[in-house]
């Protein structure tokens, strides 16, 4: 097993870091550009493994994709006429890629595709999306556990888009997958959401992207969504926003160390829910300033516990839990119902790893209470979850002897993360 030993700088941290492009926006843009006619150029893209997995799959489906550098992707769109691929597509641990491809592949008449992924992927739910696609005419078969990948998709006719329903209580990715694939639905798309739609900020990102690529969806309270017949994506030059989820770790470093970190290439007015993370740290005692394309956070001498609902920013819940370990009092984090179905059960995983650094917490079905104190170093298991590695790495800005197991997991979303931590003064030494 590989580990990474992190060294606390023991000096005030003051740095400016340009954050890579958003994985979420990059994956959405990849789908829309592949469905468009003619050529699109995407810049400032995420270099993550998840995006690489989607690029590889889209190439199998007939899209011509060039990557002249790690931040630029040039796509010759298919106009929605994908190759009827017959074979297996393995997405590894890429959840967004699995969900988006399920909807795309269901709309390819004549294809015979097996979608599979990592062991954990075959435990993650996809039933609500499959149910909706089956109701639209898709032929999808479970090859393992009911309601989870792997899937076999053998659709033979165009999808029907009228009178559809989708369960919104498990994941926003199901609704986003249907929306992104809407040009493949015959007669347009008329969709009702059953139950309260979770993580609506990610739906907002999808709707924004669709507008920017030339489609105008109508969304009423995340309960009724319509895409009128005949709308198609248009090719375009598209610059991907900086990744607010990845930026959260850098702001957290400033918070726990009492230092100052400026994150550049970030849009303070972004539709990304995680853009609100600095405001949570501000409530804990930090100071926040911003320009049109940067946000600076300065940490206080001491942090104060807060109570917060993070339903709209679930990907930064682990980051906040680690910051809360250094705060005075009990931080109550609610709205975490989607975290138990992620790369790992993130509520239980955070609870277990906090104990290793001397911090107790109280987990619940959809919440976590972190009892702040004085953390010490420890060896952290990452559960094949990139966000476990990056969130606990934040501790190294303030304490010694932090060891991260299987550090390569960060490649899923932030391949350059350990280099960035070294720039912040937390020297990273790999061991076997």
pLDDT by residue (tens digit) across 283-331? 999 999 999 999 999 999 999 999 999 999 999 999 999 999 999 999 9
Residue ranges and CATH numbers for the domains of the chain are 3-20+243-431 (3.65.10.10), 23-227 (3.65.10.10)
Average pLDDT over residues 189-206: 96
Average pLDDT over residues 203-230: 96
pTM over 0.85: yes
Q: Which of 360, 432, 426, 419 is nearest to 399 (CA)?
A: 426
pLDDT digits (tens, 9 = 90+) for 326-345: 999 999 999 999 999 888 89
Residue 95: its pLDDT value, please?
93
> How far is residue 32 from each of residues 17, 26, 377, measured CA to CA in Å?
29, 10, 45
Average pLDDT over residues 40-61: 97
pLDDT digits (tens, 9 = 90+) for 265-285: 999 999 999 999 999 999 999
Burial track 58-88 (b if 16+ CB lie within 10 A, e otherwise): beebebebebeeebebebbbbebebeebeee
Active-site positions? Answer: 315
Q: Is the dihedral of CA 133, 135, 138, 139 positive or negative?
A: positive
Residue 429: its pLDDT value, please?
82
Residue 143: its pLDDT value, please?
98
| Mean confidence (pLDDT) of the chain | 96
Average pLDDT over residues 105-126: 96
Residue 432: its pLDDT value, please?
60
Residue 189: its pLDDT value, please?
96
32 has a pLDDT exceeding 80:
yes
Average pLDDT over residues 192-205: 96
Average pLDDT over residues 23-51: 97
Residue 1: its pLDDT value, please?
84
pLDDT digits (tens, 9 = 90+) for 92-103: 999 999 999 999
Q: Which of 28, 96, 37 is nearest to 63 (CA)?
A: 37
């Amino acid at each position: 097993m590989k580990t990474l030993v992190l060294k606390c700088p023991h000096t005030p941290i003051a740095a400016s870091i340009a954050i890579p492009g958003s994985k979420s926006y990059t994956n959405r843009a990849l789908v829309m550009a592949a469905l468009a006619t003619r050529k699109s150029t995407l810049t400032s893209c995420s270099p993550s493994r998840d995006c690489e997995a989607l690029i590889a799959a889209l190439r199998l489906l007939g899209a011509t994709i060039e990557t002249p550098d790690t931040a630029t992707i040039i796509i010759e769109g298919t106009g929605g006429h994908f190759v009827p691929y017959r074979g297996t597509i393995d997405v590894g641990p890429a959840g967004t890629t699995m969900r988006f491809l399920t909807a795309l592949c269901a709309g390819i008449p004549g294809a015979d595709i097996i979608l599979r992924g990592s062991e954990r992927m075959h435990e993650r739910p996809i039933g609500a999306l499959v149910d909706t696609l089956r109701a639209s005419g898709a032929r999808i078969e479970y090859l393992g556990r009911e309601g989870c990948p792997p899937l076999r998709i053998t659709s033979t006719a165009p999808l029907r888009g009228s009178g559809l329903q989708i369960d919104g209580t498990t994941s926003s990715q199901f609704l986003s997958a249907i929306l992104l694939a809407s040009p493949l639905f015959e007669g347009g798309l008329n969709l009702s959401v059953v139950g309260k739609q979770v993580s609506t900020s990610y739906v907002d990102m999808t709707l924004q992207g669709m507008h920017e690529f030339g489609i105008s969806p109508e969304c009423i309270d995340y309960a009724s969504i319509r895409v009128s017949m005949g709308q198609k994506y248009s090719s375009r030059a598209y610059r991907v926003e900086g990744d607010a989820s990845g930026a959260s770790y850098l702001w957290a470093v400033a918070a726990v160390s009492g230092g100052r970190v400026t994150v550049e290439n970030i849009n303070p007015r972004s539709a990304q829910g995680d853009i609100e993370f600095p405001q949570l740290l501000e409530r804990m005692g930090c100071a926040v300033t911003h320009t049109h394309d940067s946000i600076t956070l300065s940490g206080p001498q001491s942090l104060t516990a807060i109570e917060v609902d993070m339903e709209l920013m679930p990907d930064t819940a682990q980051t906040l839990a680690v910051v809360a370990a250094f705060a005075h009092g009990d931080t109550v984090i609610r709205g975490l119902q989607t975290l138990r179905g992620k790369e790992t059960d993130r509520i239980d995983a955070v609870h277990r790893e906090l104990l290793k650094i001397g911090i107790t917490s109280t987990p619940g079905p959809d919440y976590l209470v972190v009892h702040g104190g004085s953390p010490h170093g420890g060896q952290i298991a990452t559960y094949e979850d990139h966000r476990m590695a990056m969130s606990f790495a934040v501790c190294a800005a303030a304490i010694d002897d932090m060891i991260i197991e299987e550090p390569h997991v960060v490649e899923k979303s932030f391949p350059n993360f350990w280099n960035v931590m070294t720039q912040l003064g937390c020297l990273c030494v790999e061991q076997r």
